[in-house]
């Protein structure tokens, strides 16, 4: 597959979050085609577990799907080079009003590998301390604490479809099962 090569990349649109590019691709047979590419600075997300075992979740409106979704706390990095744990800690406190005493990387995720370079670093947040929520001026979200089993059921029923939330919760679920086996 190394015969496929990008020979040009032209920015088409630059927004607050994404830059869309038109990539010219050289195919193995010598023809060229055009592929869309979205550049993103990356993000971090957090499976935040309170001492009682409940997981902090946020309800927020998502324009792309035109509805309120239930998600783990997350947000964009300030710069592509920002460490994931710094972003995760900031977003956890901003969105939920909790600070983590311990952050552990669960996994790294590429959200839409076919057309976007967005990566999300997913962390487990433990030893939580209540602080104060600091939402951005255009953010509106409600925080709720839920049982892991209930969240896994919502994934299986299709109620939770957000890939970072599914990946983060299932990675934590797997970790819980591993801990029980030991």
Report the catalytic residues. Answer: 137
Q: Nearest Cα to 47, choosing from 165, 134, 182? A: 165
Element (H, E) at 5: strand 5-14
CA–CA gap between residue 10 and residue 153 (Å, rounded): 43
Dihedrals φ, ψ of 165, to 5°?
A: -70, -45
CA–CA gap between residue 131 and residue 103 (Å, rounded): 17
Q: What is the dihedral of CA 106, 66, 14, 16, to 10 degrees?
A: -60
Handedness of CA 140, 146, 150, 151 (dihedral sign): positive
CA–CA gap between residue 10 and residue 94 (Å, rounded): 35
CA–CA gap between residue 135 and residue 141 (Å, rounded): 8
């Amino acid at each position: 597959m190394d015969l496929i090569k990008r020979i040009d990349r032209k920015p088409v649109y630059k927004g607050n979050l994404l830059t869309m590019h038109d990539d010219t691709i050289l195919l193995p047979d010598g023809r060229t085609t055009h592929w869309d590419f979205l550049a993103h600075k990356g993000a971090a997300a957090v499976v935040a577990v309170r001492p009682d075992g409940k997981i902090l979740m946020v309800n927020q409106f998502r324009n792309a799907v035109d509805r309120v979704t239930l998600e783990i706390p997350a947000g964009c990095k300030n710069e592509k080079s920002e460490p994931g744990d710094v972003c995760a800690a900031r977003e956890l406190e901003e969105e939920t009003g909790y600070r983590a005493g311990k952050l552990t990387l669960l996994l790294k995720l590429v959200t839409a590998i076919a057309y976007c370079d967005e990566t999300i670093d997913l962390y487990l947040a433990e030893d939580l301390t209540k602080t104060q929520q600091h939402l951005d001026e255009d953010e509106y979200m409600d925080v709720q604490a839920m049982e892991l089993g209930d969240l896994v059921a919502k994934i299986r029923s299709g109620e939770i479809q957000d890939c970072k939330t599914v990946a983060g919760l299932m990675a934590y679920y797997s970790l819980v099962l591993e801990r029980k086996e030991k």
